C-alpha cells in the first residue's frame, strides 16, 4: 500500500512549528534544521528553502556570499519577510546589499544596526514595510524627518542624537510617523539614559516627542536597564493623553526608592488600557515592589485590567531567606487586593525572556507577533 504524500500546507505547517523562536542566537539552529528538512524530498526542499529565505541576515561576514546570491539569482530574497542588517564595517557595500534586498522583497520588518541618518531616513524613506527596528543608530536632522506613512511599529534601541535631547522631535513626531501605533524605547546602556528637559523652552526632547505621538499609540514599551527615568518623568496628566493606549510595558530595577515612582503618576490609567506589564530587571527588593504595586492597584478600582509582572533575572537556588518570605507575603497581599478589584494578576520568572544587553540583534517584545501577523499590531 502506497502512503499518499502529505499536503503541502501540512508540510509547511510542520516546518514552521519545528523551528525555534526567531532570534539572532537561533539563526544557526534554524539553518541546520532547514537543511535537514530539505533532504526529505523535492517538496520539502522547496518549502525549506523558501522558509530559509524568509528571514535574512546581512553583515560583513556574509557579504561576499550575499553578493553572489543576488547576482546569480534574480528571485533571491523574493520571499523575505524580515531583514536583519548590521551595517558596522564596510558600510557602503553593506548598504548597497540591503537596498537591493529591499527592492526585491515585500518585507514586514526591517532591523538595522549601526546606521547613521543625515537629513532623512535614507534607504528607509520610500519603504513600505510596517515594522522597523533601529539598533545603536545616529540621527542627524536639521529639520523634521520626511513622512514614513507605512510604519506602524517602531523599536528604537539605544538611539543617539549628537546634538542632545533637543533632536528627538525631529524624528519621533506625528508628521514623520502618521500611522505609528506601536512604540518601544529600549536603553541597554548603564551610562547613557533617555535624557529630557522639563524646561518649557525645550520643545525637542524625548518627553515632548513621546507626548506628541501619545494619542495615536495603542502599544507602548519603555525599558531602561539602569532606572526608569523616562517613565518616572511622565506626569499624571500626560499619561491621560494616551487616549488609545491598550498595552503598556514599563521596567523597574527594584534597587532604589524611586524605581517605581511612575506607579504614583499612573494613579489614573489611560482610558482604554487593557494590560500593564512590569518588567523587573533586578529582584533584590521584591517585597517593596509588590507593596508599591498594591498601593497603585487600590487606586485602580473599577478598572478592568490585566497586570503582568515578569521577573527577568530571578535568584537561583531553592533556599528561602527571610526576605524571600516577605516577598511571598507581599505578593499574596497584592493578589488579594487585585482580586477584590477584579484585576487579573499574572506573575512569572523569565530568566531569558528579554535580553537587556548590547546584542546587536537582541530580540524585542512583539517582534515575532508582528512577523506572524504580516504586519504590526493595530
> Which pLDDT value is given to residue 362?
40
Strand partners, 255: none
Q: Is residue 16 part of a domain?
A: yes
Q: Residue 365 has what DSSP assignment?
A: T
Burial class of residue 364, CB neighbours in 10 A (0-12, 13-18, 19+):
buried
Taking residues 144-155, report their average pLDDT.
90
At 162, is the pLDDT very low, low, confident or very high (cuts 50, 70, 90)?
A: low
Nearest Cα residue to 198 out of 222, 226, 233, 227: 233
The number of angstroms, rounded, from the C-alpha of 195 to the middle of its chain's C-alpha atoms is 20
* Pick from 45-54, 139-148, 149-158: least confident: 139-148
* Pick from 16-30, 52-66, 184-198: least confident: 184-198
> Which pLDDT value is given to residue 326?
65
> Which pLDDT value is given to residue 1?
63
> Which pLDDT value is given to residue 256?
56
Q: Is residue 343 part of a domain?
A: no
Reply yes or no on whether the pLDDT at 48 is more than 70. yes
Q: Is residue 14 part of a domain?
A: yes
Q: What are phi and psi of 370, to 5 degrees?
A: -60, -40
Taking residues 58-79, report their average pLDDT.
74
Q: Report how far residue 110's alpha carbon sits from residue 376's, in angstroms, rounded to the nearest whole number.
A: 12
Q: Report how far residue 237's alpha carbon sits from residue 243's, in angstroms, rounded to the nearest whole number.
A: 11
- Secondary structure of the chain: what % helix, strand, coil (to 5)? 35, 20, 45
Q: Is residue 33 part of a domain?
A: yes
Q: Is residue 182 part of a domain?
A: no
Taking residues 260-289, report their average pLDDT.
83
At 373, is the pLDDT very low, low, confident or very high (cuts 50, 70, 90)?
A: very low
Reply yes or no on whether the pLDDT at 367 is more than 50. no
> Which pLDDT value is given to residue 222?
92
Q: What are phi and psi of 82, to 5 degrees?
A: -140, 145
The number of angstroms, rounded, from the C-alpha of 79 to the middle of its chain's C-alpha atoms is 23
Reply yes or no on whether the pLDDT at 215 is more than 90. yes
Q: Is residue 25 part of a domain?
A: yes
Q: Is residue 76 part of a domain?
A: no
Higher pLDDT, 215 or 103: 215
Q: Which domain holds residue 26?
A: 1-52
Taking residues 110-116, report their average pLDDT.
85
What does the block give as the cell for 256? 532604589
Q: Is residue 38 part of a domain?
A: yes
Reply yes or no on whether the pLDDT at 178 is more than 90. yes
CB-based contacts of 295, cutoff 8 Å, min separation 6: 263
HSE-up (13 A, CA, CB side) for residue 102: 21
> Which pLDDT value is given to residue 376?
32
Provide the Cα torsion 318, 323, 325, 329; round to 10°.
Answer: -140
In the chain, the number of structural domains is 1
* Pick from 41-45, 161-165, 329-333: least confident: 161-165
Whether the CB-CB separation of 178 and 149 falls below 8 Å is answered with yes
Higher pLDDT, 22 or 332: 332
Amino acid at each position: 500500500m502506497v502512503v499518499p504524500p502529505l499536503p503541502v500546507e501540512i508540510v509547511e505547517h510542520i516546518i514552521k512549528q519545528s523551528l525555534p523562536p526567531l532570534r539572532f542566537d537561533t539563526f544557526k539552529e534554524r539553518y541546520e534544521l532547514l537543511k535537514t528538512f530539505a533532504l526529505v524530498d523535492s517538496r520539502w526542499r522547496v518549502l525549506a528553502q523558501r522558509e530559509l529565505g524568509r528571514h535574512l541576515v546581512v553583515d560583513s561576514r556574509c557579504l561576499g556570499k550575499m553578493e553572489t546570491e543576488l547576482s546569480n539569482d534574480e528571485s533571491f530574497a523574493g520571499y523575505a519577510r524580515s531583514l536583519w542588517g548590521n551595517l558596522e564595517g564596510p558600510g557602503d557595500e553593506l548598504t548597497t546589499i540591503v537596498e537591493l534586498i529591499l527592492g526585491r522583497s515585500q518585507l514586514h520588518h526591517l532591523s538595522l544596526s549601526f546606521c547613521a541618518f543625515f537629513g532623512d531616513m535614507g534607504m528607509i524613506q520610500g519603504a513600505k514595510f510596517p515594522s522597523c527596528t533601529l539598533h545603536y543608530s545616529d540621527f542627524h536632522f536639521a529639520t523634521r524627518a520626511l513622512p514614513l506613512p507605512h510604519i506602524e511599529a517602531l523599536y528604537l534601541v539605544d538611539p543617539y542624537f549628537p546634538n542632545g535631547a533637543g533632536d528627538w522631535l525631529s524624528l519621533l513626531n506625528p508628521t514623520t510617523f502618521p500611522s505609528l501605533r506601536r512604540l518601544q524605547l529600549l536603553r541597554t546602556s548603564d551610562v547613557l539614559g533617555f535624557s529630557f528637559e522639563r524646561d518649557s523652552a525645550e520643545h525637542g526632547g524625548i518627553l515632548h516627542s513621546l507626548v506628541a505621538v501619545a494619542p495615536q499609540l495603542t502599544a507602548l514599551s519603555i525599558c531602561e536597564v539602569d532606572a526608569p527615568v523616562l517613565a518616572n518623568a511622565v506626569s499624571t496628566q500626560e499619561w491621560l493623553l494616551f487616549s488609545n493606549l491598550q498595552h503598556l510595558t514599563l521596567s523597574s530595577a527594584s534597587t532604589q526608592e524611586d524605581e517605581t515612582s511612575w506607579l504614583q503618576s499612573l494613579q489614573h490609567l489611560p482610558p482604554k488600557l487593557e494590560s500593564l506589564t512590569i518588567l523587573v530587571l533586578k529582584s533584590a527588593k521584591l517585597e517593596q515592589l509588590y507593596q508599591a504595586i498594591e498601593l497603585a492597584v487600590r487606586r485602580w478600582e473599577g478598572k478592568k485590567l490585566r497586570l503582568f509582572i515578569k521577573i527577568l533575572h530571578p535568584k537561583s537556588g531553592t533556599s528561602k531567606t527571610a526576605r524571600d518570605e516577605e516577598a511571598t507575603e507581599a505578593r499574596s497581599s497584592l493578589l488579594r487586593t487585585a482580586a477584590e478589584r477584579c484585576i487579573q494578576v499574572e506573575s512569572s520568572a523569565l530568566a531569558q525572556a528579554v535580553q537587556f544587553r548590547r546584542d546587536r540583534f537582541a530580540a524585542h517584545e512583539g517582534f515575532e507577533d508582528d512577523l506572524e501577523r504580516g504586519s504590526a499590531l493595530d
